[in-house]
Amino acid sequence: MRSATPTDCTCCTKSDYSGNAIKDLREWKHIYFEKEKERKETNRQRENNAREASKRVRGAIFTHDQKDSSTELAFKYAVYKINKDKIILPKTTLEYDIQYVPKDDSFHASKKACQQVKHGVQAVFGPSDPILGQHIHSICDALDIPHLEARLDLETEAKEFSINLYPAQSLLNTAYQDIMEFFNWTKVVIIYEDDHGLMKLRELVKSPKIRGIEVSLRQADPNSYRQVLSEMKSKEFRNIIVDTKPEHMHHFLRMILQLQMNDYKYHYLFTTFIHLVCDSIRSLAFPQDIETFDLEDFKYNFVNITAFRLVDADDVGVRSILRDMERYQPSGNTILNKSRIIQAEPALIYDSVQVFAVGLRTLEQSHALRPANISCELEHPWDGGLSLTNYINSVEMKGISGPIEFKEGRRIQFKLDLLKLKQHSLVKVGEWRPGAGVNVTDTAAFFEPNIGNVTLIVITILEQPYVMLKSEGNFSGNMRYEGFCIDLLKKIAHMVGFTYRIELVPDGKYGVYDYETGEWNGIVRQLMDKRADLAVGSMTINYARERVIDFTKPFMNLGISILFKVPTRHQARLFSFMNPLAIEIWLYVLAAYVLVSVTMFVVARFSPYEWNNPHPCHPGTEIVENQFSLSNSFWFTIGTLMQQGSDLNPKATSTRIVGGIWWFFTLIIISSYTANLAAFLTVERMITPIENAEDLASQTDIAYGTLDSGSTMTFFRDSMVETYKKMWRFMENKKPSVFVPTYEEGIQRVLHGDYAFLMESTMLDYIVQRDCNLTQIGGLLDTKGYGIATPMGSPWRDKISLAILELQEKGEIQILYDKWWKSPEDTCMRTEKGKENKANSLGVDNIGGVFVVLLCGLAFAVLIAIFEFCYNSKRNAPAERVSASTLETNAEIHFNKSLARSRCTTLLVDYLQSDKHDCVRLILKLLLLLYFYQLLKPLTLRDVHVTRMRKRCMTFSELCFIATSWISSYQHELIDH
């Protein structure tokens, strides 16, 4: 640097100095502004770069018919909401690039997608068409760009860069299965409109859960709705799953009205979303809720229309978003429909934008995302695409379509609201969640008939006394029937407020589950298929039936009992008086009689106190006698046994002990015999071979069975009690079969004998009251009740239950029971008085044997007397050769001497000597002889006791001489007289 010298300074003028300074100042100013301009430009460039970096471009592809639709508006509103609130992406702005393509033009759609990729889009949304969607996804998959969809995808393979918010069809099929299982559907028809609908529901048809359900598939369009529905009506298909296009929905519902298939017995389950909106078979539209349809014509016809809803409009957060959506009208159109309800497609599009924003925020929090500088020509993948896709896949949030969670790009978490058409609108009656199944909170909503204007079909079985045909008169309709259940049904219908039509069950059975076929029959099957509204009769409430149908409160309690033929009275035998003691006892008594008699004889012979002087008037004699000879011993024993006694009295202690023990023995035997004889002879004993179920199970001579279809048969089949299991094995293996189709046949088999019928006690009581040849054996084997059966979930159950309880409290049911069970003109006569008279009267059959014994005894005595006479005559023949005069003279002399020598002259002898009347003396002599031989007991004559003749002061020979003299003296007078 060169320094200034004085010379130089002196050379510089003042003007020169000023000009240079101004010049420098201008240069400095220019430089400053240039630098400031450069700095501002740099800042501006930096701001622009930052702004460009914070912008995230999103591409959306819609078909031409979706332009300005609720779906496009929902997409724009979602972007607008995120940019406005700055809650999810506070430092990022979302922009969108919307392209419209024709339907079925995949080339044009691919071209539009490539344009969006060239402009730097970082995600592609749509389209809704399945064919277009597949082409767009192939482009996104090749370039690693996230592809967000909200359409039904039937492909099961996982897609790496696809995120689909539409619930997987496999989960929706599970929801259908759970609904069918909840309602116990056994017969269902699936109506679909095209091949795509069939492919969608094929997993449902092949599912193992519905293998026990009869499934029928029918393809139908508006031109064939009437034909298909008429066929379903004729085949009595009551449960119908409908998969049809939205624009055809009104036509389908109108056809239901025209065919009168709109009562509450029909149940229509519309697929989760009504999704077919394109005329082409290959095009698939976005889902649209059935909730958006006008169902005014069905509100008061109480038809069961059920569907699922994805958007819970009752949620507070959802309602807030919907109110904000309603105000968003950039093009004059609104997202919501006239009913202020959002359809499923706009809801899913809105949630897809929210999911993308949440995934993008999570990604930006970890590292910066570079813009997508790619193109379809280069086919170079975007570096940040895979990371963004993974972050979106990990999003868990709650959108307006419910909880959202993904697994490999498929939505696995959501909630479906179960809707039911009621009288006012479609209302939520439950919900379904994956893994949790269906949860119905309002079961009665599925049966809400108009009580004031409905005729119920009541099915029953002819069975006395519950339901019977009137025997007199020509009636039709309900007037043909009478019985306990008919009267009960009349009262209930009047109280609840409905009319009814009675029909008989075709197979005449109550209903039993067949384990081989897995099917029910009878009344249960009719109710399961909803061919009837009520079932009355002796319908037993049990566990198996309660699983598939409903029952009211029981109107009658009962149990299983045994019907058997009244045993015939045992034919009285001639010697029935011997029945009180067994034959063994009679033999033992006979043996005891012989033993005691012999013992008495032996003991009396050994005892010295039983030997006595036969002549008290000669005490010095050495002759002694023993009164207990062998014959007397037997006589003493038999006299005591017959309670008659004898003149033989034991004197020794030993013989008295024998006699006392024998008396005690006879006391017990005779008392027992007398007591039992009264029961045998005065009570008509019935020989009953069985007394209870155990007796039946322990024998095989008497067969037993039940109805071949009913709760009684089910009771034994499913019982775990060993006795009942044994009985069931017997009934199941018995040939010929012991099961009967009707009660009447079972009763006839009982009357024919050797058969016991197991039936319910109420019916048994009715039969026994009317047939005196039948009776009930034992008590009740179980306890159960009769109820009125209804289809599962029927509201009539609760209403009828209340009516039954009221009738029971008023005693109306008991009055009906007495009317039909205990009618005097129908019951057989079983009066107590008749029973008493029959029990107290004895006939010849009962005690005729006693007379036989008497006659036999008399005959035997006569024979013995003849034998004794012959024997005695033969022995005394030499003595009888003496002349009669000599005998008379000797007797008279001996008699007079005996009287003179006797010291025992009695009043009787004096009287006999003084009495000169020949006849009197002869009679007295005969009496004396009879008494002497112990053929007469002591008697009194003129206050003089004849027994005085037996005193020991008169010897035996003297008495003989007296009698002989009297007979000899007056035998001629007796003959002459």
630 close to 594: Cβ distance less than 8 angstroms: no
Distances (CA, A) of 941 to 68, 535, 923, 927, 930: 149, 94, 12, 11, 15
Which helix (H) or strand (E) covers residue 603, if one does?
A: helix 583-606
Upper half-sphere CA count for residue 398 (Cβ side, 13 Å): 7
Give the total residue count for the chain. 977
Collect all residues with Cβ–Cβ distance below 8 Å to 292 and sequence separation of at least 6. 337, 339, 341, 343
Nearest residue to 306 (alpha-carbon basis) of 171, 434, 437, 175: 175
Q: Are 689 and 695 in contact (CB under 8 A)?
A: yes
Kindly report whether the peptide bond that precedes residue 146 is cis, defined as omega within 30 degrees of 0.
Answer: no
Helix (H) or strand (E) holding 631: helix 630-641
User: Does the annotation flag 540 for ligand binding?
Assistant: yes
User: What is the distance between the alpha carbons of residues 128 and 165, in angstroms, rounded to a whole number?
Assistant: 12
Q: Which CATH architecture has domain 563-569+686-782?
A: 3-Layer(aba) Sandwich (3.40)
Contact 261, 233 (CB under 8 A): yes
Alpha-carbon distance 126 to 144, whole Å? 16
Q: What is the pTM of this model?
A: 0.54
Give pLDDT, residue 501.
93
DSSP assignment, residue 510? -
Are the C-beta atoms of 277 and 312 separated by less than 8 Å? no
948 is in an annotated binding site: no
- Residue 10 confidence (pLDDT): 36
d(CA 588, CA 583): 9
What pLDDT does residue 549 have? 92
Angle at alpha carbon of residue 508, lines to 502 and 512, rounded to 5°: 115
545 is in an annotated binding site: yes
Q: Is 473 helix (H, G, I), strand (E, B) or coil?
A: coil
- In whole angstroms, what is the distance from residue 360 CA to residue 95 CA? 14
Domain 455-557+791-811 fold is: D-Maltodextrin-Binding Protein; domain 2 (3.40.190)
Other C-beta atoms lying within 10 Å of the C-beta of residue 360: 24
User: Is there a contact between 180 and 280 (Cβ–Cβ < 8 Å)?
Assistant: no
**CATH 3.40.190.10: which residues of the chain?**
455-557+791-811, 563-569+686-782
Order across the sheet with 402-407: list the strands. Answer: 93-101, 55-63, 124-125, 147-149, 162-167, 410-413, 402-407, 396-399
Is 760 labelled as part of a ligand binding site?
yes
Residue 52 · residue 92 · CB < 8 Å = no
User: H or E element: which one contains 195?
Assistant: helix 195-206
**pLDDT at 580 (0 to 100):** 81
pLDDT at 813: 92
Token pair 């003007």 is at which residue? 15
Tell me phi and psi for residue 621, to 5 degrees.
-70, 150
Q: CATH top-level class for 53-166+341-410?
A: alpha beta
Amino acid at 243: D
Q: In Å, what is the CA distance from 567 to each residue of 22, 306, 561, 562, 758?
A: 150, 62, 17, 14, 17
Contact indicator for 442, 420 with CB cutoff of 8 Å: yes
Stretches in the chain below the pLDDT threshold 70: 1-58, 272-302, 338-339, 423-424, 444, 446-453, 569-574, 615-623, 680-688, 826, 829-854, 857-858, 861, 865, 868, 877-977
**Measured between alpha carbons, how far is 125 from 138 in angstroms, rounded to an integer?**
13
Domain with CATH 1.10.287 in the chain: 576-615+624-671
- The answer on whether 906 is annotated among ligand-binding residues is no
Architecture of domain 169-272+275-309+416-445: 3-Layer(aba) Sandwich (3.40)
Residue range 576-615+624-671 in CATH 1.10.287: yes
CA quadruple 830, 831, 835, 838: dihedral positive or negative? Answer: negative
**Phi and psi for 501 in degrees, rounded to 5?**
-130, 125
